Structure 1
Amino acid sequence: MNLEMHEPAVETLGVLETAALLRELTAALLDVTDFDEALSRLVTIARDTVPGVAWCGFTVLRAGEPAGVAASDPRLAELDDLGQGPDFPAMSAIHRREMILSTDLVTEERWPAWTDRARALGVHGVLSTPLDIDDHVIGAINLYAGTPDALTARRQLTAMLLAEHAGLLLAGVRGRARQAALAGEIDESLLQEGVIGQAIGVIMTQRGCPAPDALQVLRSAASALSIPLREVAERLVVTVSRPREG
């Protein structure tokens, strides 16, 4: 009777833990535009929120760039680094496109050199889960246990859900970064464009503000008046160019 009551309680607790993890991760990454900052937040939240996990790392491969890592503990960053060679759990997960698990490194034989380093750092278990971020970036999130057999089946399910959700959130971070870069290019073009550039110069002189702030003033006026940005700029330039009477 006690066992029957206990098992559903444990299962419910696992669902609540996972929901809390995904909610916290979403809140932390929702407005981030810097990819490396997003990775740093991800590994910290995973370390602090997933029970049984003592450390978390992330191995990232970006097209045309060296492999990168993020680690909740800089002391363990080397375990996620491609500089250690291709024979380690994260790269196995990325290459095979499946979760890689070792619940007790004492008996692990797949990555002998890496395992020796991990055990020397106090790691007893590892769970690496691959995730696709976009066409140019892939990676693996790596959960490390400080005790044997801590990465239970429930933790493995949490890791799968974490990787799936993190992949979507990180894709969003990449998308916002591209949009911000594009907006910067557009702003730079507007600053140099004819009457808009003139109007920006007028506002900078009047308000003593930098060009980006002056451009924002123009945009706010265009939005408030529901007219195109260029028309607002033309009106301003005409107004200040008009000869004063008297």
Structure 2
Amino acid sequence: MYGMPGKANPASDAADTFASPEPPRPVAASRPAAANAGARCANCMMRHICMAASLEADDVEQLDRVMQGWRTVRQGEKLFRAGDPFRSLYAVRAGSFKTVVTSERGKEHISGFYMAGDAIGMDGICEETHTSDAIALEDSVVCVIPYHLLEALCRELKPLQRQFHKMLSAEIVREANQMMLLGNMSAEQRVATFLLSISARHRERGYSATSFVLRMTREDIGSYLGVTLETVSRTLSKFQQEGLLAVQGKSLDLLNLDALDAR
């Protein structure tokens, strides 16, 4: 999910290139949470930005009990498809995804990118049917949370309810920002805003905000930003020539965050 980033401070960032955490070994979804100790929210390094944020230890235990284990999704595989019945939300434990919406004319559009700590599947809440395909950009692991159990637990645990509402609100803000990005910004501003958004999200997760790997293709970025693949490549090359960033394949180093923010 993407929001409009604020200014960043590159001096505080690590220099190592970002790589997704090693996906944990999957556990069968049918196993009870008590036996599935490795999948517990308390052991997840994304806990501070996911469903368990702000929960006390006892409340985290209750959330663990409604979680239905892990699911591994290999690169290129679909977590769910448009038209599938909505039954669960999925918290990304490791890896990354893109969501793809297909128009009535058959044209595909990237509607979002998700990384560890994000929740996928909220598109299905309204009509109880998913409206997009969720495709793994790399080998990924998600925690499966049956929605009817989560909904019931939210009625018992107000902190969990507040956190879930925050996540729903973040989706609304992301979509509003996406509309502004597509409607009011030039191609260069769209690319710059996109890179700064990824930077801010990496910082939030404790990774380097200036050195990371873009898991999506340039074509995916273009689809998300409403520009062509050639425009994305040309803009990245221009930013590199201006000393704003260094790019090699999918590896990216942001060299001047303030200048990108001023585009």
TM-score, normalised relative to structure 1: 0.26
Pick the structure with more strand per residue.
2
Higher-RCO chain (CA-CA 8 Å, sequence separation at least 6): 2
Pick the structure with more helix per residue.
1
TM-score, normalised relative to structure 2: 0.25
